[in-house]
Structure 1
Amino acid sequence: MDLGEIGRTLAERLRDWAGSGWSDAVLQLSMGTSGSVAAWTDQPDQHNGRALIDILHGAYPQDRPPAAYEVQLRADGTYRFATSADASTLAPVRFEFDPDFRCPQRPAPGMPRPAGIEPTSAPTDPAAVREVSALVEEFAERYTAITGHAPDWEPGRSEEEIAAAEARIQARLPEDLRALYRLIGWDSGETGLLGYYAHDSLDTVVENYHYSLPGAYRGAAFDPPPHSADVVFEAVPPSRIKRLSRNDWWLSFGGNHSDQWIAVDLDPAEGGRSGQVIEHGDEVARLLASSVTEMLADVVAALRAGRFTRHEGDPRLEIQAAFHDVPYENHVLLVRDVAKLDLAAEISTEDPEVVQSCHLSDGIDVDLATLEPLGGLRELGAHRMRTVVPNVAGLPLLESLTISAARVGLDALVGHPTLWDLTLHHLAHPVDLSPLATLPNLTRLAIDGLDIPAIDQLVQLKALRVLTLDATQLTRLLATGHRLPQLAALTITGRVLLAEAVGFLRQLRGADVHLEEFTGSLRPSD
């Protein structure tokens, strides 16, 4: 399908979606790593009610390279079709100028390998083999006595097979994990040998390591884009695991069916131990055991004490090992209807060492100094407020602040040392950005939709790398002659046509930005 055919097909689908009663309609389609689709007409909410994504099914060949596509259609059937691979993300427009940029605590792959974990030709430590063998044998005996059959385990792997896997991930596995693989190649029956988790085959370990970002859980193949990467929260306990979104030297080797993965940590924090076992995934990373051996010992101890459940017909044992006893601690605090509450009393029962994120909603006049007892906060949001005084000097770890309010006094933010992410929404007054120039680490800022009289104050934000503006704000900024060359990424919100996006990109970077345009007309019977 050539570009002309794509344009006509998209125009036909847009007309189907738009229904009747409109004069002009627009369809925007972004195809790439972060795809998006949007459409609108000059009549609010005027369309035939069918889901846009359903109407577009099959209209675009999936084998084409990433690009943005746009159709502007008139009711008489004439249309203009445009496409660009340079301005490839619309609705909203996003430009990425520095693909190597990372938000804080989100390292790029290629982290230095810690000393002492390089692959070697040495066989597995015999002492580790003896210790792990004793635990595995006792587990197998007790499992067989309970279930009436031996555990369903894949045969162990040879030293050569383990060494080959290590060569592919460029790290030697801890001796006790090597010993486990010498004995059991894969706990395919999920017998309970590692409690609610089970270890994968070596082939799967290597595949996952290279499929995803190294040290990430299965499926995390890409870093979040700069505009949406969240704050990385402190691990549990913080002294043992580094506060990172991922680590090249967290080697995932198993998990459960709840998107929780276990890894041996070969690059621990100062108080940790190489080879410790951690659980990671979408939630905060947490320590399970100081070693694989300790996990096995906890499981066997639970079997000895009768702390297990067996369901008839299920080969798995639910073993209540000690490492499962760590209570779940919710690091996110949500406080709703703040106007009806005594906020200080509401937070007084919370553990400041646990809560790292707090979101308040539906208040009247709120001074964020009230939250100072939660000294471990790294993320804070105040939503649907009338007035917010962002006194956060007493929150020395705060990194991200989102405020949606009619009035905000930014002077209260002056000099905050760790705040790197600030989002402001719905302010009903002109905003002076000069206090933000005192924030040494302000890396990401979203101010679209606000009245910023001196938009060129953005130039004073020396640490700024990621910015969200609306098209009017950006037009005014460019009119001052400033291009913000330090930006790694820019988002432009609102309904921005592709030709406008290309124009912005040409002004911002002066590069040769390609835009192809075609015109056509649909017959009434099309």
Structure 2
Amino acid sequence: MQAELAALAHELVTGVDPGFEFLTLRASCSGGGGTFRLTAGPSDHDVASSASMDGLFRLGLDRPVVLELRVEPDGTFEAVVTEGIVQVTSSLPPTYTFVRKPPQRPTEFEVTSLSEVEAVIGASLPVEVHELYARTSMVDEVQLDPPEEILRNWRWHLADVEEDPRRWEHPVLYAGPPDAVRPVQFHPLWVPVGANDWGDAVCVDLAPGPGGRVGQVIQLAGEGPLTYLADSLPELVLPDSYPGTTGLEDHFDAGDRAPAALPPTLQQITVREPGDLDFGLLARLTSLRELRVVRGGSVRLAELAHLPLQRLEVTGYEIELPACETLKALVVNGARVELPPLPNLRVLDVSQADVDVESLPRVDYLVLNAEQWRRCRQTPAAAGVVGESSLARALAWAAERGAGLPREVFRGRAASA
């Protein structure tokens, strides 16, 4: 990797205007693609560059790579390279997230029958699914995947949710009979047997909601909401048009919309600049599972405790939270905040709030700022730190919390490839 980094450093110093104090490239690469952000100097201001990033993306061809590369004007560089940590650079300093014990990648092996698929997932498919596979490879307009492809896609969907804690406990929009389907991104007992024209997975649901049926067919959230399609796979008929999100979600400035005008079917709401809005007026939205309050002032939500809220993101200078038993994820940005009893809370981000760190509830994924972590003794399954500008220090912070992440340091001088 030394030669590749030297070539990348050469691309950077020759691709920006002279006069910089030093350049910092923060990047995450995998599978030949990735994201990056290039800044200059201690102020970390963005700089334009004509540098090709092909060499950067090639670093992640064989394995995921997270790096921070500092290049001086004379071409000398130092790079810290790791994997297993999520580096988000949409705002600076970055946010770093890691899973203390990353899920083990399952061993790949060939399967040739639905019975072998059942053995891996730990549940039986309905008899009608076996009978359908025995006589056809199509149902309506869905090409049925072979067992090996079913298992490959099942593993991919599981890993996609489990490996990045930032995706934990994000409710999805749902269109279908009430309570028929669990409103989650993916469930281990959803068996992907094909896809629609948009590429959204069509699954046999072996873990339905209280109003559903084992073996019902659903479409995963993608181009549209999570959608109930049929009682069983042989009965599947794809709809002529897919349900949109009208009546399911809304985003608005409080001054432009009266709460009384909101449809009672809403599942997600974003309220911007609510001013003196009486949030008690939202109490009639009995399907509301996610609420975001942006640039709020005095935000009082106690009257919403009876709603089936699963995720709450609130910004304000004065915040009163609901004691909501269903709440699984909470993000708070504001002044002093007191947390009510939240027995099912799993994700908590108070990195931008004034809270009593020592009395925080134990959760699976905790996000704090660097100063808060110095006072916190928790070792959650996943952790995030805000306000740590150095990848090296972020790795040291992760090591203190039990994450054995690899770390390589490369030093050298820029050289053309």
Q: If the TM-score is normalised by the length of the shorter chain, which range does it land in?
A: 0.7 to 0.9
User: Helix, strand or coil for the counterpart of 1:55?
Assistant: coil
Q: Is the 8 A contact 2:185 2:220 kept in 1?
A: no
CA gap of 1:246–1:495, structure 2 versus 1, over 3 A, is closer
> In 2, are the aligned partners of 1:362 and 1:385 still within 8 Å (CA)?
yes
SS at match of 2:351: coil
Q: Match of 2:325?
A: 417
SS at match of 1:262: strand
Which of 162, 165, 177 does residue 113 from structure 2 map onto?
Answer: 165
| Structure 2 residue identity aligned to 1:47 | V
Structure 1 residues 247 and 513, CA gap change in structure 2 (3 angstroms):
closer
Q: Secondary structure at the match of 2:358?
A: helix
2:248–2:267 CA contact under 8 A, matched in 1:
yes
Residue type matched to 2:7 in 1?
T
Q: Which residue of 1 aligns with 2:167?
A: 228
Identity %: 22
User: Is the partner of 1:336 in helix, strand or coil?
Assistant: strand
Q: C-alpha root-mean-square deviation of aligned residues, in Å? A: 3.7
Match of residue 151, structure 2, among 210, 221, 229: 210
Counterpart in 2 of 1:37?
Answer: 36
Asked whether 1:399 is paired with 2:307, we answer: no
Does structure 1 conserve the Cα–Cα contact (< 8 Å) formed by 2:225 and 2:244? no
Matched, 1:275 2:215: yes
Q: Structure 2: how far apart are the matches of 1:441 and 1:508?
A: 23
Q: 1:371 deviation in Å?
A: 0.5
Alpha-carbon displacement from aligned partner over 1:31-52 (angstroms, at most 9, x marks no partner): 45895422210266553354xx
State the alpha-carbon separation in 1 of the partners of residues 195 and 102 from structure 2.
31
CA distance in 2, matches of 1:74, 1:517: 16
Mapped to 1, the partners of 2:348 and 2:4 lie a distance apart of 37
* 2:267 counterpart of 1:356: yes
Paired residue for 2:92?
none
Q: TM-score, normalised by structure 1?
A: 0.65
The 8 Å contact of residues 69 and 80 in structure 2, kept in 1 or not, is answered as yes
Greater fraction of residues in helix: 1
CA drift at 1:513 = 6.0
* In structure 2, distance between residues paired with 1:512 and 1:222: 21
Distance in 2 between residues matched to 1:367 and 1:205, nearest whole Å? 54
Once the two structures are TM-superposed, the CA of residue 6 in structure 1 deviates from its matched residue by 3.2
Question: Helix, strand or coil for the counterpart of 2:371?
Answer: helix
SS in 2 for 1:359: strand
1:56 to 30, 49, 53: 53
Once the two structures are superposed, what CA deviation does each residue of 1:374-413 show, in whole Å capped at 9, x if it has no partner?
A: 02211001123343223343443111111234x232xx32
Kindly name which structure, 1 or 2, has the bigger radius of gyration based on alpha carbons: 1
Tell me the distance in 2 between the aligned counterparts of 1:262 and 1:502: 39
Name 1:186's counterpart in structure 2.
137
Distance 1:238 1:292 in 2: 20
Contact 2:65 2:82 in 1 (8 A): yes
Cα distance, 1:372 vs. partner? 0.5
Structure 2 Cα separation of the partners of residues 182 and 369 of structure 1: 55
TM-score, length-scaled by structure 2 = 0.80
2:196 alignment counterpart = 256
1:198 to 142, 145, 154: 142
| Aligned counterparts of 1:84 and 1:327: Cα–Cα separation in 2 | 42
Residue 95 of structure 1 aligns with which residue?
98
Q: Decide which structure has greater strand share.
A: 2
1:265 corresponding residue in structure 2: 205
| Cα shift at 1:419 | 1.9
Give the aligned partner of residue 443 of structure 1: 346
Picking from 329, 334, 341, the partner of 2:250 is 334
Q: Any unmatched runs of 5+ in structure 1?
A: 102-107, 110-162, 188-192, 300-320
The counterpart of 1:68, out of the listed 66, 69, 75, is: 66
Residue correspondences, number: 398
How many Å apart are 1:95 and its aligned residue? 1.8
Amino acid at match of 1:57: D
Distance, in Å, in 1 between the alignment partners of 2:241 and 2:62 is: 51
Structure with the bigger RCO (C-alpha within 8 Å, sep 6+) is 2
